[in-house]
Amino acid sequence: AETWESVPLAPPDSIFNLIAAFAADPTPHKVNLSVGAYRDNDGKPWVLPVVKKATQLLLNNPTLDHEYLSIIGLPAFTSAAAKLILAPDAPAITEGRVVSVQTISGTGANHLGALFLSRFYQFNGNKQVYLSKPTWVNHYAVFKNVGITPVEYPYFDPRTLGVDFDGFKSALVDAPTRSIVLMHACAHNPTGVDPSREQWEEIANIILSKGHFAFFDSAYQGFASGDLNNDAWAVRHFANKGVPLLICQSFAKNAGLYGERVGALHVIAPTSEAAKRIRSQLSVLQRSEISNPPAHGARLMSLILNDPKLFEEWDRDIKTMAHRIISMREQLYKLLTEEFKTPGNWEHITKQIGMFSFTGLNQQQSLALVEKAHIYLTNNGRISMAGLNTHNIRYVAECLDKVVR
Ligand code: PMP
């Protein structure tokens, strides 16, 4: 028999499949609303000016070499990254309770965090993790790969196109004590719907009282509101309340460093002594997985995070991206409600935040947009606002209008 006879053919990744179909589509007015990457007003990838500057600085440094980083990464990067999400004066940082490990972007942070929990977390009964319904689809595979079973908590209410807060709270209350709960730090993917600050406070209280563990996935800090501190509010609130937690941090979106794979895993320990033990075990896990993380992107981010001038410039670049997206939301809303008088309520377009919007279109309508209008979106009705620009927004609004009538 053939050696690999028993290997079944896997289905292609649905998003990357759509991207390929878009690339192959010869229609000039095609629109790509599927990809989770920022585009400028001409639909082009945007290299942040601050990243260009940092790259020049890096290349002009005559002592630059290509030696290995340490197993847990570049300390100047990871410690600045921890301060970015937790605040420079966070008690967990000043008390030496944060373990920071450089990872292969956010996906690698999710994987290493999940692997660490799978090995060392004291599960109460089943080895499982609570994921929001829906969530970034990769979360399912990441946890299954390390032997942790995903279970779902209600998150999105299709009737209000907002958070199903009662469902979310009940699930947290009903979950066995010491459950692991994955939450998106801000700009929830795919729904674009986040809890309010009051709701986060209630969630933190329940999680604390039930002894749950908060697994924060932070892939969009700065992208939601245009303000890095604002977007870190939930994580900081949980940390200050003393909720046991870890954070998976990605610089793919907010620094436009997608392919450079820059990220970090931060675990907050109860004591600095516990932090030392956790760091040692993460180091052992990392060694067998990747030996040491890639240097280039971490060096770029280290320059940007540690130089006040570059940091300020980065902050402005983030605002450029976030505000363009927010303005696309406003324009789309205006076109639908005022110009085309499209049936239905479209307030969620401007209320939802971050890269994505859950339009409320069903599978059939989503498919019709792809097939008839050459507007590419996932069949759950999610559109990437970053794919909209002043050249195509009118066409998109017109086709949205037609497809819901
Ligand atoms: N988490 C969420 C919620 C995401 O949307 C993404 C990016 N699509 C990631 C993690 C990981 O992205 P990356 O590995 O490129 O940092």
Residue 216 to residue 289: CA distance in whole angstroms: 22
- The yes-or-no answer on residue 136 being catalytic is yes
Confidence label for 329 from pLDDT (cuts 50, 70 and 90): very high
108 against 158, higher pLDDT = 108
243: how many CB neighbours lie within 10 A of its CB? Answer: 21
Per-residue pLDDT band at 215 (split at 50, 70, 90): very high
Q: What distance in angstroms lies between residue 45's CA and the mean position of ligand 1's atoms?
A: 17
Q: Which residues lie below 8 Å from residue 275, measured CB to CB, with a gap of 6+? A: 96, 97, 98, 99, 267, 269
The type of residue at 247 is I
pLDDT of res. 198: 98
Ligand 1: centre distance to CA 353 (Å): 16
- Amino acid, single-letter form, for residue 12: P
Angle among Cα 228, 229, 231 to the nearest 5 degrees reads: 70
At residue 15, the pLDDT reads: 82
What's the average model confidence in pLDDT over 317-339?
96
Stretch 332-342: mean pLDDT, rounded?
96
pLDDT value of residue 2 = 86
Distance CA 262, CA 397 (A): 35
Shortest-distance Cα residue to atom 16 of ligand 1: 106
Of all residues in the chain, the percent with pLDDT exceeding 70 is: 100
Does the pLDDT value for residue 12 go beyond 90?
no
Pick from 86, 84, 109: nearest CA to 97: 86
**Residue-averaged pLDDT of the chain:** 96
Least confident among 66-75, 107-116, 195-204, 375-384: 375-384
* Model ipTM value: 0.99
User: Which of the four pLDDT bands, split at 50, 70 and 90, describes residue 161?
Assistant: confident
The owner of tokens 């924060």 is 216
Express each pLDDT in 366-391 by its tens digit.
999 999 999 999 999 999 999 999 99
pLDDT at position 397 is 97
Instruction: Compute the distance between CA of residue 41 and CA of residue 51 in angstroms, rounded to an integer.
Output: 19
What pLDDT is recorded for position 133?
97
HEC profile of the chain = CCCCCCCCCCCCCHHHHHHHHHHHCCCCCCEECCCCCCCCCCCCCCCCHHHHHHHHHHHHCCCCCCCCCCCCCCHHHHHHHHHHHHCCCCHHHHCCCEEEEEEEHHHHHHHHHHHHHHHHCCCCCCCEEEEEECCCCHHHHHHHHCCCEEEEEECEECCCCEECHHHHHHHHHHCCCCCEEEEECCCCCCCCCCCCHHHHHHHHHHHHHHCCEEEEEECCCCCCCCCHHHHCHHHHHHHHHCCCEEEEEECCCCCCCHHHCEEEEEEECCCHHHHHHHHHHHHHHHHHHCCCCCCHHHHHHHHHHHCHHHHHHHHHHHHHHHHHHHHHHHHHHHHHHHHCCCCCCCHHHHHCCCCEEECCCCHHHHHHHHHHHCEECCCCCEEEHHHCCCCCHHHHHHHHHHHHC
State yes or no: pLDDT of 1 exceeds 80.
Answer: no
Active site (annotated) includes residue 217: yes
pLDDT digits (tens, 9 = 90+) for 45-90: 999 999 999 999 999 999 999 999 999 999 999 999 999 999 999 9
In ligand 1, the atom with minimum distance to the C-alpha of 104 is 14
Mean pLDDT of 109-128: 97
**Which is more confident, 363 or 14?**
363
> How far, in Å, is the centroid of ligand 1 from the Cα of 212?
23
Residue pLDDT, tens place only, 254-313: 999 999 999 999 999 999 999 999 999 999 999 999 999 999 999 999 999 999 999 999
What pLDDT, on a 0 to 100 scale, did the predictor assign at position 11?
86
Query: Letter for the amino acid at 122?
Result: Q
CA of 267 to the centre of ligand 1 (A): 18
Separation CA 78–CA 357 (nearest Å): 31
Catalytic residue of the set 164, 217, 231, 317:
217
**Which residues' Cβ are closer than 6 Å to ligand 1?**
36, 105-107, 136, 184, 189, 217, 219, 250, 252, 258, 263
In the beta sheet, which residues pair with residue 75? Answer: none
**CA-based angle 370:322:134, to the nearest 5?**
50
Stated pTM of the model: 0.96
For range 24-31, the mean pLDDT: 95
Q: What is the pLDDT of residue 113?
A: 98
| Of 22-36, 95-109, 111-125, minimum mean pLDDT range | 22-36
